[in-house]
């Protein structure tokens, strides 16, 4: 679903495994989400993090189904009081409303009894939590993956934490990623390995150029090309500059 169809930054997938929903989709796509949710009973709704494209319809789903969404603890207060979103995000996804949630239960499981294991993976957001389904070999990855090679970073992301979270999930056994923006990714474990390797390479190359006396702008141009329309349009909330700036500070092994 998505108001615009310009790739992973403007489209979203809500996943359902049996009677469990993972994330709620963006608020301006409620009609599509409502039709999907109404197809069969829902026992639980698990949110990966607070961002509006993931949590935006959770309150409406709660009203429709009587199910209170569960969310990672670091994001529950923000969901409860509501939060502002930058203009470009409001255009793409809509504006979120305050939302009552419950903490993630200690014993999460699918309707067949197989376990759902929350894995705390901050970096993209301070509350980002993936859900590992070990029996199925799946990882509901929230926004941990998105792409094998990043070219942009949000101003509120922490690149070092994101890379640490990648290393953390790579200790888990899974083959398929279920990414809400990219879609199902076969050989998902390898895809995350490649993402981490690409980020480590970017950090090493950026810091090597800095040691040669190159400016941040010159390093940006050399490694990613000059800042483009997305950075300018988002007022640098999502930009190549953010990625290079943080790549220059990430501790290298």
The C-alpha atoms of residue 109 and residue 101 are separated, in whole angstroms, by 18
Give the pLDDT mean for 197-211.
98
Q: Please name which of 208, 244, 180 lies closest in space to residue 26, comparing C-alpha atoms.
A: 180
pTM of the predicted model as reported, rounded to 2 decimal places: 0.95
Distance of alpha carbon 109 from alpha carbon 179, whole angstroms:
20
Mean pLDDT, residues 154-179 = 97
Read off the pLDDT band of 236 (50, 70, 90).
Answer: confident
Does residue 146 carry a pLDDT above 90?
yes
**pLDDT > 70 fraction of the chain, expressed in percent and rounded:** 100
Residue 5's pLDDT is 74
pLDDT digits (tens, 9 = 90+) for 29-39: 999 999 999 99
Question: What pLDDT band is residue 142 in, cutting at 50, 70 and 90?
Answer: very high
| Cβ-contact 176, 166 below 8 angstroms | no
């Amino acid at each position: 679903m998505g108001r615009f169809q310009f790739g992973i930054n403007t489209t979203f997938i809500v996943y359902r495994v049996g009677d469990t929903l993972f994330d709620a989709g963006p608020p301006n796509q409620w009609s599509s989400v409502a039709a999907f949710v109404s197809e069969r009973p829902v026992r639980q709704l698990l949110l990966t993090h607070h961002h509006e494209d993931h949590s935006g319809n959770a309150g409406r789903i709660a009203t429709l189904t009587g199910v209170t969404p569960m969310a990672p603890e670091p994001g529950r207060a923000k969901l409860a009081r509501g939060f502002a979103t930058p203009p470009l995000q409001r255009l793409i996804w809509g504006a979120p409303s305050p939302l009552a949630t419950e903490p993630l239960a200690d014993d999460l499981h699918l309707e067949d009894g197989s376990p759902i294991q929350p894995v705390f993976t901050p970096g993209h957001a301070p509350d980002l939590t993936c859900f590992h389904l070990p029996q199925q070999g799946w990882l509901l990855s929230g926004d941990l993956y998105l792409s094998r090679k990043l070219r942009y970073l949000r101003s509120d992301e922490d690149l070092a934490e994101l890379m640490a979270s990648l290393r953390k999930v790579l200790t888990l056994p899974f083959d398929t990623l279920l990414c809400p923006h990219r879609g199902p990714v076969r050989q998902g474990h390898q895809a995350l390995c490649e993402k981490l390797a690409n980020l480590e390479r970017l950090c090493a190359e950026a810091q090597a150029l800095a040691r040669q006396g190159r400016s941040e702008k010159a390093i940006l141009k050399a490694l990613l090309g000059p800042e483009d329309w997305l950075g300018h349009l988002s007022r640098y909330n999502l930009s190549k500059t953010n990625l290079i700036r943080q790549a220059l500070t990430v501790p290298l092994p």
